[in-house]
Chain A
Amino acid sequence: MKLLEIKNLTKNFGGLKAVNSMNLSIEKGKILGLIGPNGAGKSTVFNCVAGVYPPSSGQIMFKDENISGQSPWDICKKRIGRTFQLVKPFGQRTVLYNVMVGSFLRTISPSEARDRSIEVLRKLHLYDKKDLLTKNLTIADRKRLELARALATEPELLLLDEVMAGLRPTEVEEMIDIIQEIRAGGVTVFVIEHIIKAVMALSDWIVVINFGEKIAEGTPDEVSRDENVIKAYLGEDYVVT
């Protein structure tokens, strides 16, 4: 079943066409990776889906409902969660507090929210740090906190915006495991990522975007051999003819 379907999505900023007639869909329970050079328009696609700004034209269908142009909080209520590329923890608060903000979406009871948050923290191996102030966390922990918070809202679709950026190789491995566990738990995942190794390992399907347009899509294997992709990333000279 197609959980998310993006149809002819176009987004203009003033005179600049950031995304042009993008078509993309994700099957329920799969992991889709969106890759492309810097400035290709990946975050714009994400932000349109997440409701940060409305598309200039096109449709975004989530579970057969058109969600284009809705507000970020309504979209979250409809079970799409997201993380931010530049993490935004509530710095003056504890880890647990941060996650509870997420849990409160699904329950009004503070004790229930607390219990659910602790469960999420355990799953992400952050339980020991639950009482630390977030500004005292390492970057890897902050990324996981960002993930935990979004998970606490019990999404069906999770948008991960460069969640590996800034992590060391061992931390990347851990994150890959965590995301796979999340998928095993029934959440569909849509990732933007630069760390190619991670995207290849994680994704069931990859879409490549450049200058706001899709230039290739397929399995990781197919995409890594696609001419257009190699050209986009490395330039003409690397294409093997």
Chain B
Amino acid sequence: MKDGLNKEKTNYLMMIVVLVIAFLLPVAVHSPAYLQILILLFFYAYLTTCWNLVGGFAGVLPLGHSAFVGIGAYTSTTLYLHYGLSPWIGMFAGGILAAVVGIIIGKPTLKLRGAYFALATIAFGEGIRVMTENIGNIGPFLINGPRGLLIPLKGNSFSNFQFLSKVPYYYIMLVMLIIVLLITYVFSRRRMGYYLAAGGEEQEAAEALGVNVARYKLIAMALSCFLTALAGTFYAQLMLYFYPKGIMGLDLSFEIAFIALIGGRGTIIGPVLGALLLRPVNEFTRMYLSGLLPGLHLVIFGLILIFVMIYLPRGLQEPLSRLYNWCVDKITGASQAKGAYDV
């Protein structure tokens, strides 16, 4: 139908415009500080999108996901420091380890009710962090406890996953983000996505329709953990230094979850939107106000959280996408069936 095609075409057009802008930004933005802000923006958007696979689609509330970021960072870095293994390969080793840990954790916890699951993930996340802080070495591998790991500077070296300029990091993270968004999109259109959404909403009903909900949640968990760990390696290579409280702390876990929740979990655009809106607030209040009023960005964050959860429980993506759809409809002159949106 002509109307439907116009709407889809408009969406594709918008996406292409956004992509082009994203790819061309480094041409206009030269300041490393601003590039860093953008890189971290993509980093958080990536993390929340990965989180969304479990927290959004599977309908549970994992609050310990930073542990997997840490697993990724520590795995690739220790392999690099000890064997000289390129972090590109170490990245995937970290991902696999994270997936395995995720399955081990997921198997007993995904059976628990909502709040208990959340508490269990906190316990696991903090447990892993605490253990990491206590360990000096695992066999020959240096872990260095609370002091963290330092990666020696090698200058511009692709195989060592290090670059002097921020620009390569920018593109790597951007591509990673696009990939996970694509994965999420494909997921949502295929059986896996339908089953997860159903199982997350009404487990009994889904099971009566032939869905082994527990198994699908576990698959989502494994995938989410794998992808999350990849970002851990990226972070390690970007900063060349990390330590347990920073990379596997509760703060990061909570931030990832809450950005997704404020943006709108279970949707594709929600987590990215959340990151786009909240990270700049975070960065700018921290940059300009933390001298005067330390912690203000968290107060603002907390207030937004409260407000959104009370008035917009499905996240900011709901009013924003309705606004977007309304604009598109005005432009293409199409109309939607009544009741197709929330009344």
Contacts and interface: CB of A to CB of B under 8 A. Distances in A.
B108 interface: no
Given A90-B198, A100-B194, A108-B191, A82 B208 contact: yes
A97 B210 contact: no
Interface string B198-227: 100110111111111100000000000000
Contact of A149 (B207, B209, B266, B343): B209
Q: Is the interface of A mostly helix, strand, loop or mixed?
A: mixed
Contact of A90 (B189, B197, B210): B197
Contacts of B341: 133
B265 to A, nearest CB: 12
A92 B201 contact: yes
A101 interface: yes
Interface in A183-198: none
Contacts of B51: none
Contacts of A73: 207-213
B24 interface: no
A92 B194 CA distance: 12
Interface in B261-289: 266
Interface in A110-130: 110, 113, 129
Most central of B189, B205, B206, B211 by chain A CB within 10 Å: B205
B195 A101 contact: yes
B343 A136 contact: yes
Contacts of B208: 50, 72-73, 76, 81-82, 84, 150
Interface of B: 189-191, 194-195, 197-198, 201-202, 204-213, 266, 337, 339-343
8 contacts: A71-B207, A72-B208, A73-B210, A76-B210, A89-B202, A90-B202, A93-B198, A133-B341
- 5 residue pairs, one from A and one from B, having the closest CB atoms: A76-B210, A88-B205, A105-B210, A72-B207, A104-B191
Interface of A: 50, 52, 71-73, 76-77, 81-82, 84, 88-94, 97, 100-102, 104-105, 108, 110, 113, 129, 131-133, 136, 149-150, 152-153
Given A81-B209, A82-B208, 11 more contacts: A71-B207, A73-B211, A73-B213, A76-B208, A77-B210, A81-B208, A90-B198, A93-B198, A97-B194, A108-B190, A149-B209
